[in-house]
């Protein structure tokens, strides 16, 4: 392990929320570990049976106690300091735990939750105000933040806009997880329909997503399904 970069992958929703934002760090951490890298995954919930994973305490976004905290703090400008919503509260409290674990022991931090990235960036700037002194006295630490729901072109633009304000000698990267659409080639529609048992000329609605109970309220997938069913009944010719 000596001499290798220590990588932290963190997600406050990992272990209790099922979205792509949580799936990405989950699979990234597993892939890095299987490849032999010195990686540690920090998550907001769930069982942690491996020594390279840790659950950090936080206010989970849909928990009753979190709603109570948000309802109280909203009267005191809670959104100003990270308690404007359940999700904000989760990220803010998760960051407090995360900071104590990673700021001195890890070289790279990978997160996808925007407020965690913001708080970690501000914390590093506060703890190490003079970048040149920091780099001369401590191991180099690079904060690597993956963009959340940002197309490739927008991510590059944000990175360029940030450069004039970044600390001296800070390494900056932009890594897009989005494919270019031109790489996706259509296949044989008729063959695909027959493979899936669909009529050759029927109207098909397609929605690809996880459908856990907690996600339905967020993405309204249950309403889409009922809406598609109603539309299907409406266009059926009378017998």
Q: Which two tokens stand for residue 139?
A: 């191991």
Q: Which two tokens stand for residue 16?
A: 């209790």
Who has greater pLDDT, 74 or 18? 74
Overall pTM surpassing 0.85 (yes/no): no
Angle between helices 114-127 and 86-102 (to 10 degrees): 40
Question: If you ran DSSP here, which 8-state letter would residue 179 be given?
Answer: P
Q: Which two tokens stand for residue 25?
A: 């760090």
- 118: pLDDT strictly greater than 70: yes
Who has greater pLDDT, 207 or 29? 29
Q: Which residues contact 114 (CB under 8 A, 6 or more apart)?
A: 91, 148
Are 146 and 178 contacting, i.e. CB atoms less than 8 angstroms apart? no
Q: Which residues contact 198 (CB under 8 A, 6 or more apart)?
A: 192, 204
Are 33 and 46 contacting, i.e. CB atoms less than 8 angstroms apart? no
> d(Cα 125, Cα 129) in Å, to the nearest integer?
5
Which whole-number Å values give the CA distances from 154 to 43, 93, 174, in the listed order?
Answer: 28, 29, 10
Are 214 and 197 contacting, i.e. CB atoms less than 8 angstroms apart? no
Which tens digit of pLDDT belongs to each residue from 40-64?
A: 999 999 888 899 999 999 999 999 9
3-state secondary structure of 174: coil
- 180: pLDDT strictly greater than 70: no
């Amino acid at each position: 392990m000596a001499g290798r970069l220590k990588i932290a992958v963190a997600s406050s929703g990992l272990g209790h929320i099922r979205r792509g934002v949580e799936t990405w760090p989950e699979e990234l951490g597993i892939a890095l570990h299987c490849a032999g890298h010195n990686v540690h995954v920090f998550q907001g919930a769930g069982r942690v049976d491996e020594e390279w994973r840790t659950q950090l305490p936080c206010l989970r976004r849909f928990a009753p106690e979190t709603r109570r905290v948000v309802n109280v703090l909203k009267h005191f400008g809670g959104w100003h300091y990270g308690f404007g919503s359940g999700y904000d509260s989760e990220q803010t409290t998760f960051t407090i735990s995360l900071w104590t674990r990673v700021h001195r022991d890890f070289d790279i931090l990978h997160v996808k939750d925007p407020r965690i990235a913001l708080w970690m960036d501000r914390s590093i700037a506060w703890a190490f105000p003079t970048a040149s002194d920091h780099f001369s006295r401590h191991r180099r630490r690079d904060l690597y933040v993956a963009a959340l729901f940002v197309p490739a072109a927008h991510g590059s633009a944000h990175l360029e806009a940030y450069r004039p304000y970044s600390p001296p000698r800070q390494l900056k990267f932009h890594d897009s997880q989005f494919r270019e659409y031109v790489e996706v080639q259509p296949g044989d529609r008729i063959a695909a329909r027959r493979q899936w048992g669909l009529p050759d000329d029927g109207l098909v609605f397609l929605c690809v997503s996880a459908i856990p109970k907690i996600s339905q309220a967020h993405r309204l997938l249950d309403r889409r399904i009922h809406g598609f069913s109603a539309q299907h009944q409406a266009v059926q010719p009378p017998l």
